[in-house]
A and B are shown apart, each in its own frame.
Chain A
Amino acid sequence: MSGKESKGGIKQLSPIDVYMLLPKTNCKECGEDNCMAFATKVVNREDSIDQCPPLLTKANQKNYSKLKEMLKPAVKEVAVGVGDSVVNVGGKLVMYRHEFTYTNPTAIAIDITDELSDDEVLARVKKTQEFTYLYIGNDLKLQMVAIRSTSNDAEKFKAAVKKVAENTNLPIILCSFDATIIEAGLMAIPKARPLLYAATKDNWKEMAELAMMYNCPLAVSVPNDISLLRSLVKTLSAYGIEDLVLDPGTFTGVGLGDTINNFTMIRRAACSMGDELLGYPLIGTPIVAWTEPANSPTVNAWKEAYVASMLVTRYADILIMHGTEGWALLPLTVLRQNIYTDPRKPVAVEAGLRTLGTPDENSPVLMTSNFALTYYTVEQDIESAGKSAYLLVVDSEGTAIDSGVAGRKLTAETVADAIKESKLEEKVKHRKLIIPGKAARISGEIEELSNWEVLVGPRDSSGIPKFLQDKWK
């Protein structure tokens, strides 16, 4: 994947455009060598113009505003919550993933109702807060709690909001179409800047007043009618509300096609057509799947999970979910991680010998391919074994072990050559190579060509710690 192509996406902005508006003093106060270097970083979103002190002076006010406008993301960035636990949503620069790294991974909120017992509330809050999965060096997490008024009783809602806020710092979404209910919730957490869900064609005035009074972002809900949605956005903007989140409706059964179309059209209008009224973060509600009759709750959870996954791909910035099962949330959070990685990250890592820990002449030597994901996974698994080791990364042209062996990219010859080039024979006394179980078929050939003894390791690298414990004395 070439890095070059990806730069074009952000409205063809060049460092020169930015440079022309900078003070051109080369003062280095921003930390860069000169203004041109700073301009390049700014275009790549690695530096912010606020890091340039001279630009912030009154004399440069005009240029600052111009730059701000020039660099404005197509989708506004909206903050939910306050302080350390604030979650930013939106802020997208591009529509397609290959154009530029997506900012602000989709925030996932788990729901709580005001009719749950205290124990149930605490259990769901705890589950949401403590959800974590270590995936190649990143902790996958959930971001928000959505509190729904099912009682339609203001006092009950207020009590539930209070209970949740006492037990978590996660940002909150207050859910009701009744402004008096929302107001009761806000009274419990007047300074917490929750997302208010939602303004509709019927309640928008009351919701707008609350959003202004409590300085909160406001969701606008108009199922399947983008003209009316734009109309509400225009009206609320005129009213003075800046931080909006758009809900074009999530249909999980009939209408799923309309939902995918609506999310896609809104994002395209914002990113390619400069439609500022639609340039706000999008909220999806896969939780709707639970309102459909089904044979078993498993079916609701299944549907909620796969619809959520489609909305992660198709531009949702926030998702409200009901299911908390690990089998449903794990694939979803892993997908989000995948979609929000830097698309310029190469598929292959450099081949060659890696030292993990402080290996000596008796340390084990393991082998893997140079497909980035395989490499990182194996590296993490060896490290979790707590043993120093050599890891021989063989050039498989960026393919995984099984496809590398099948497609003859990873052969006994490439392995034997890699051993030679790595000068392993000068580093270790033994001549034992541990190969992945999925490369077992070429073990004999490797032994013949390299004169090393081959130990066939586990088929999945998660078995490495146990393998080393049992087989490496």
Chain B
Amino acid sequence: MPKRAEKDSDLKLPPELLDLLTGTNELELEDVDIAVDELEFLYQPGVMPALQRMVAATKGKPTSLLDAPFTLPIQKYPGQIVEVTLGATKSQGGSRGKSIVIGGEKSPAFYTFESPTLNPPVISLDVFDSKVPIPKAVKTNFNDAMEDPVSWAKFAVNKFGAQMITLHLVSIDPLNPKPSTPAEAAKTVEDVLQAVDVPLVVGGCGDPQKDLAVFEKVTAAAEGERLLISTVTLDMDIEKSAKLIKKYGHVALAFSPMDLNQARELNRRLLDFLPKEQIIMDTTTAALGYGLDYAYTIMERARLAGLMGDPELQQPMSSGTTNAWAAREAWQTMDPRWGDKGLRGPLWETVTGLTLLLAGVDLFMMLHPAAVQTLRNTIKRLTEKSGSVDTEKIANWVSANF
């Protein structure tokens, strides 16, 4: 009996991605229903005289199912992850269309049998203020929009529904031939704030002195917007950074290089000057195949420690998932058996992100729209109320042709 084929509401890859591999014809199939006769469960109980005789002959074996009820393996945690609000609306003293709350977990990531996910993790799309090497698989999705940060940010919000934008001020790096000044950087931030109304992350270049000089201008220029200032590190003037962030009403992103003790120390020092509701931590994201194992375990341990009551590890976690593209397998043309890099690359970013999602990351900074969309869908699936699953239907895979 043919059933009505539902369109796949779970995942629609951007057409550009599919184009890369399958040609444009695929898109025309979008509205065609697939006949699912073939997917029907073909199981018919067979006749099995030999077996039946055997079963009847055995003794001392159970003849019906023994009862063994299952009790949910629930644990209690003395700690809870802090809730942090990003972006401020007009009534909150800023100009964002809405603000976003992350954190608040009472259990490890998506242990929804213990406690529901209070605030689903959020994805912020990367925007750079000057030219950086971007994989072709990503560029294809943005066309000319990458020319300047304002059009890039707008495109990310309008076309890909970005909930947040991360503006990387890479142009300020003193190692550049002509680094932009703190005032110029602040102007870029203001322009992007004007262009889009989602909450913003503002990232520096990694040089502790220059970043602080830029943050000084940026925090003042965007007073009250509750920007996430990325990043504050142990080698920065922590007191000065924290006081700026507090004075102008922003949030600090505390970055440590894959070391729980450093993460603790940095949080501890920031907590001297900032309320806990204004700190998010980043314990470093390494790419799948290039240290993701370390990144995953550090984050999982941080989260478990926070839940077990360690007050220095109770901040929500952020991940620079875009680092996935540092893996050569994500962007290189390889032997044909490893398939199209237009798919391999975004899947590399997706798998990096999903692995860290399961470690407890609350905020993702990402690049490829297909990876973003997959994470977004998965987060929805993991946080929705459990209920009507079709247990008969999933057994179909055993006998179905596809």
Give Cα A312–Cα B63 distance, bound, in whole angstroms.
36
Q: Which residues of A contact B50 (CB under 8 A)?
A: 183
The 8 A-B pairs with the shortest beta carbon distances in the complex, nearest first, are A327-B339, A406-B206, A255-B389, A326-B338, A327-B344, A230-B68, A338-B293, A223-B391
Q: Which of A222-266 contact B (CB under 8 A)?
A: 223-227, 229-235, 238-240, 249-251, 253-258, 260-261, 264-265
B55: nearest residue on chain A (CB-CB)? A205
> How distant is the Cα of A399 from the Cα of B67 in the complex, in angstroms?
54
Q: Are B402 and A322 in contact (CB under 8 A)?
A: yes
Q: Answer yes or no: B195 CB below 8 A from chain A CBs.
A: no
The residue that B65 contacts in the complex, of A175, A176, A201, A310, with Cβ under 8 A, is A201
Residues of B within 8 A of A234 (CB): 66-68
* Partner among A152, A197, A327, A338 whose Cβ is within 8 Å of the Cβ of B289: A338
A214 within 8 A of B: no
Q: Of the listed stretches B121-129, B139-147, B237-245, B297-305, name the one at the interface; the rest are far from the partner chain.
A: B297-305
Q: Does B208 contact A (CB under 8 A)?
A: yes
> Are the C-beta atoms of B21 and A257 separated by less than 8 Å?
no
Indicate with 1 or 0, residue by residue over A356-384, a CB within 8 angstroms of chain B CB atoms: 00000000000000011110010000000
Q: Mark A313-347, 1 if CB is under 8 A from B, else 0.
A: 11000000010011110111011011101010001
**Interface residues of A, count at CB 8 A:** 122
In B311-340, the 8 Å CB interface with A consists of 326, 328-329, 332, 334, 336-340
Residues of A at the B interface (CB closer than 8 Å) are 1, 96-98, 113, 115, 133, 135, 148-150, 152, 154, 175-181, 183, 197, 201, 204-206, 208-210, 221, 223-227, 229-235, 238-240, 249-251, 253-258, 260-261, 264-265, 268-269, 272-273, 275, 277, 285, 287-288, 290-296, 298-300, 302-303, 305-306, 309-310, 313-314, 322, 325-328, 330-332, 334-335, 337-339, 341, 343, 347, 371-374, 377, 397-400, 402-403, 405-409, 441-442, 459-460, 462
Q: How far is the CA of A393 from the CA of B293 in the complex (A)?
A: 22
Q: Complex: how many Å from CA A255 to CA B378?
A: 11
Contacts of B290 in A (CB 8 A): 373-374, 377, 400
Interface of B (DSSP majority class): loop
A-B contact pairs, 30 of them (CB 8 A): A98-B297, A98-B301, A152-B399, A206-B52, A209-B55, A223-B394, A227-B68, A227-B70, A231-B67, A232-B65, A251-B389, A256-B378, A261-B112, A269-B70, A269-B73, A288-B397, A290-B400, A291-B396, A293-B7, A299-B8, A309-B355, A327-B340, A330-B338, A334-B288, A339-B293, A372-B291, A407-B235, A442-B175, A459-B133, A462-B332
Cβ-closest chain B residue relative to A320:
B397
- The answer to whether B401 touches A258 (Cβ under 8 A) is no
Contact residue range for chain B?
35 or more
Flag if A135 contacts B289 (CB, 8 Å): yes
